[in-house]
Structure 1
Amino acid sequence: MQVLVNKSTASASEIVATALHDNCRAVLVGDKTYGKGLIQSVFELPDGSGVVVTIGKYVTPNHMDINGNGVEPDFRNFPAWNEVNNHLSKCHKQQDG
């Protein structure tokens, strides 16, 4: 599978893309992702103002912190299928080794 990513790929879409990638199910194609890795909530205060609090953080299945960093794709342009197969084969070997 080839997953297209770019600077607009953020938050949950980055996690889905990297989950497929880290589990050797897909290669990432395109541009570096946005790097939105924080989960935030807004709490209203008694005076009507609010405060934003970070309550969680997204990390990839391989425990990479994407916040502020984004994710670099494997390929800038769509690769040939044999390149995808070679890349995923190497990924499987690294996981098995």
Structure 2
Amino acid sequence: MDIDIGCEKVKSIVSCYKHFLCNDAYEEVINYLENREPEMAYEGFLIEIINSDKNPEEIDKEQVLYVAKYLSLDYESVFDKNIWNKLLDYLKIS
């Protein structure tokens, strides 16, 4: 994975769904991006949206899953070893 491309992909999605995050969570995601840690930024973003009360129907599932796979979160994670399955459950994908 190219770190710069990963950061750009995460920035793009986070900007689309910023309204899903509280200010502290948004700042944390941006901090990880500034430190060139797109995997941590995106996983943190996913944890926040999964735990939010936001409707998953508002999310472009294909785009969100594509970036997660690009960052290898479908088989490797930092904060939550079950993030991939939780994301699939949240998006109602079997």
TM-score (norm 1): 0.28
TM-score (norm 2): 0.28
- Which has more helix, going by share of residues? 2
Give 1 or 2 for the bigger CA radius of gyration: 1
- Which has more strand, going by share of residues? 1
